[in-house]
């Protein structure tokens, strides 16, 4: 994929998945604006990209407010003359079960993930529409947003909202040639290596330098952060000009298209449904095969 001449902003790109995205975009020829809240991390990330022959600049800002979004867009235009791609990756975790989650736990996660995606996408969309040459909004979601996850009310809600925004913005920005997609990544990061079923395999792979086992790469769709980056580069390219409004999963050896929410079982009653009628027919009708919820617990072979 050739991204020569394109300019990308990647939020939360000082380390982990975000850094992998920024490095992949730069390797394909894009100029990249790196973002993190830690100045030293930003400088190091920019250094690794430029040392590899890429073009990058850094912005130290906490994503969430409009001011940070404008700062990122302005940096792209000031340093590289335009903005073509936005990847909204910045995020934090404040995991608590519902009855222990504080207002601050909820608000801080929603501010970075959901409001940060909104403010950055709005600023980028304004600039892209002014340029009149289309663009790419690539919004990072999570399996938690698709299925829910224990202890992650705030995170799951924000990530689900991000997919909903992607589908909405795909309609609103289509005439401007701006595509909008949500990416649902799974990779070995500081967060996933704390999962008991994953930890031993990740630690072994890191210690020996060998690939993760097939049951992780294929069955669980879990690989390295670099395994995810190819999808970001593809979506940023001209080859994806007709791909929009989608939620796309990637990790390890697995690439998947998440289905849109849709009606499953349906039943009809002449004149409508009373509570009693629903109760009488629920278990043998639309509720006979209830939908699953939550991210399935991974199980290693032989466990």
* Residue ranges covered by each domain of the chain: 7-187+224-257
pLDDT digits (tens, 9 = 90+) for 120-145: 999 999 999 999 999 999 999 999 99
Question: What is the spatial distance between Cα 194 and Cα 198, in angstroms, rounded to a whole number?
Answer: 7
Q: Is residue 142 flagged as an active site residue?
A: yes
Query: Looking at the domain 7-187+224-257, which fold is it?
Result: Rossmann fold (3.40.50)
Order of strands across the sheet with 55-60?
Answer: 55-60, 31-36, 7-10, 85-88, 135-140, 178-185, 247-251, 254-257
- Predicted confidence at residue 302, as pLDDT, reads 64
> Is 159 annotated as catalytic?
yes
Q: Is the pTM of this model over 0.85?
A: yes
Q: Are strands 247-251 and 254-257 parallel, antiparallel or unpaired?
A: antiparallel
Residue-level pLDDT at 198: 72
- Contact present, 147 and 155 (Cβ < 8 Å): no
Q: Which residue intervals of 132-224 are DSSP H helices?
A: 143-147, 153-173, 199-208, 214
Active site residue 155: yes
Q: Which residue has the tokens 């991210």?
A: 295
**What is the rounded radius of gyration, in angstroms, for the C-alpha atoms of the chain?**
21
Determine the Cα–Cα distance for residues 181 and 244; give it in Å rounded to an integer: 5
pLDDT at position 40, please? 98
13, 31, 142, 237: which is the annotated catalytic residue? 142
Set 108, 159, 237, 262: catalytic member: 159
Catalytic residue among 155, 218, 237, 293: 155
pLDDT digits (tens, 9 = 90+) for 45-96: 999 999 999 999 999 999 999 999 999 999 999 999 999 999 999 999 999 9
Residues of the chain with pLDDT under 50: none
């Amino acid at each position: 994929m050739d991204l020569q001449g394109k300019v990308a902003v990647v939020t939360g790109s000082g380390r982990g998945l975000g850094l992998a995205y920024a490095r992949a975009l730069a390797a394909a020829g894009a100029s990249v604006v790196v973002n993190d809240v830690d100045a030293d991390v930003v400088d190091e990330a920019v250094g690794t990209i430029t040392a590899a022959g890429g073009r990058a600049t850094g912005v130290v800002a906490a994503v969430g407010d409009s001011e940070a979004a404008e700062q990122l867009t302005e940096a792209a235009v000031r340093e590289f003359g335009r903005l073509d791609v936005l990847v909204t990756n910045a995020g934090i975790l404040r995991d608590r079960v519902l009855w222990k989650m504080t207002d601050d736990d909820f608000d801080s996660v929603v501010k970075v993930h959901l409001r940060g995606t909104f403010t950055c996408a709005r600023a980028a969309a304004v600039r892209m529409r002014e340029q009149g040459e289309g663009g790419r909004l690539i919004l990072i979601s999570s399996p938690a947003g698709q299925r829910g996850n224990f202890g992650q009310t705030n995170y799951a809600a924000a990530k689900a909202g991000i997919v909903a925004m992607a589908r909405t913005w795909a309609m609103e920005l289509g005439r401007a040639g701006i595509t909008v997609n949500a990416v649902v990544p799974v990779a070995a990061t500081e967060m996933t290596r704390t999962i008991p079923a994953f930890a031993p395999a990740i630690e072994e792979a890191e210690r020996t330098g060998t690939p993760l086992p097939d049951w992780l790469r294929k069955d669980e769709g879990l690989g390295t952060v670099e395994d995810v980056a190819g999808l970001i580069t593809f979506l940023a390219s001209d080859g994806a000009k007709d791909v929009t409004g989608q939620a796309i999963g990637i990790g390890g050896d697995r690439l998947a298209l998440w289905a849109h929410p849709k009606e499953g079982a349906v039943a009809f009653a002449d004149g409508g449904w009373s509570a009693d009628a629903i109760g009488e027919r629920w278990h043998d009708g639309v509720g006979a095969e209830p939908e699953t919820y939550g991210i399935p617990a991974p199980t290693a072979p032989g466990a």
